[in-house]
Amino acid sequence: MRGLCNGLTALLLLVGTAQAEPVAIVALGDSLTAGYGLEDQAEGLVPELERWLTAKGHEVAIQNAGVSGDTTAGGLARVAWAIGPDADALMVILGGNDMMRGIDPAEAKKNLDGILKEAAARQLPVLLVAMKAPGNFGADYKVAFDGMYAELASQYGAVLADDFFAGLVAAGADPSDPASMAAYMQADGIHPSPEGVKLIVAGLGPKVEELLAKVAPAP
C-alpha cells in the first residue's frame, strides 16, 4: 500500500510539473521586437509582454527572435531554424522595413505567406501583427500593403492584430502626426520608448491571449 501511495504521489508530481510548463512563443520580428535603442533591454517588447501576460495569470516564455533591419524576406530566410522544436506558437511582427523601403507589397505578402506556411506545417497557431503604410507611396500601395495582413490571417486561420501601434492610438497618439507620437517614441521617431512599449503591449496583449487560447494543451 505504501508503495502504491508513493507511486501515485510521484505520478501527481509529474503531472503537476507537466502542467507547469510555460507556453513557448517565438516572436519573429525586426528591431521593434528586438528592443532596438533601449538602454535597458528588460524594457523591450518581449520582456514587457511576458510581464503583462504573467500578471494576467498566464505562464509563458517568449523567445526574442527579433533582428534589427529585418524585412519579411529576412524573416522567411530564418523562420525554419528560428522556430525551435519546443515552440508552441508563433508571433510574426514583420513588414515595417519592407514598407519603409517601398518594397512591393506583393513581394512582402509572398514572404509572409512562406512564414505562415512553415508554421502551418508545424501545426503552430500564429499571431500576425500588421503594420500600416504611410501615404507617401500612394493610395494603391497603402491599400495593398495594409490589406495583405488580413488576407493572410484569413487564409491561414491566424489571429490578427491589425495595427502594431494600436496601443498608442488608444492613448491618443496619431501615427500620421510625429508630434503626437513624440512622447512615446525614441529620438529617431521610429522605435518606441519604454513608455511607448508599455502602451503597445497593452494593445497587443489581448491578441496574444487569443493566441494562447489556440495552443493545444500538452498531452
Query: What digits encode the pLDDT tens for the residues 125-152?
Result: 999 999 999 889 999 999 999 999 999 9
Which pLDDT value is given to residue 175? 83
Q: Which CATH architecture has domain 22-213?
A: 3-Layer(aba) Sandwich (3.40)
3-state helix, strand, coil in the chain (%, to 5): 55, 15, 30
195-205: b (≥16 Cβ within 10 Å) or e: ebbbbbbbbbb
| pLDDT tens digits, 31-50 | 999 999 999 999 999 999 99
In this prediction, residue 20 has a pLDDT band, given cuts at 50, 70 and 90, of low
Average pLDDT of the chain is: 91
| pLDDT tens digits, 88-126 | 999 999 999 999 999 999 999 999 999 999 999 999 999
Q: Which of 30, 31, 146, 163 is catalytic?
A: 31
Which pLDDT value is given to residue 216? 76
H or E stretch at 201: helix 194-213
In this prediction, residue 176 has a pLDDT band, given cuts at 50, 70 and 90, of confident
Residue corresponding to grid cell 509529474: 14
How far apart are alpha carbons 97 and 90 in whole angstroms? 20
In 3D space, the residue among 74, 70, 132 whose CA is nearest the CA of residue 105 turns out to be 132
In 3D space, the residue among 181, 180, 176, 170 whose CA is nearest the CA of residue 206 turns out to be 170
Catalytic residue list contains 188: yes
110 touches 48 (CB < 8 A) = no
Per DSSP, the three-state class of 24 is: strand
* CB hemisphere CA count around 59 (13 angstroms): 8
Catalytic residue list contains 58: no
Q: Which of 40, 98, 188, 193 is catalytic?
A: 188
Please report, for residues 55, 148, 164, the alpha-carbon distance to residue 48 in angstroms, rounded to integers and kept in the order given.
Answer: 11, 28, 15
Task: Report helix angle 45-55 to 194-213, nearest 10.
Answer: 60
What DSSP state is assigned to residue 106? H
**Angle, vertex CA 114, rays to CA 113 and CA 115, nearest 5:** 90
* CB hemisphere CA count around 193 (13 angstroms): 10
Which pLDDT value is given to residue 17? 44
Q: Enumerate the domain spans of the chain.
A: 22-213
pTM over 0.85: yes
How far apart are alpha carbons 85 and 82 in whole angstroms? 10
How far apart are alpha carbons 139 and 206 in whole angstroms? 30
Which pLDDT value is given to residue 16? 47
Q: Which of 70, 88, 98, 191 is catalytic?
A: 191
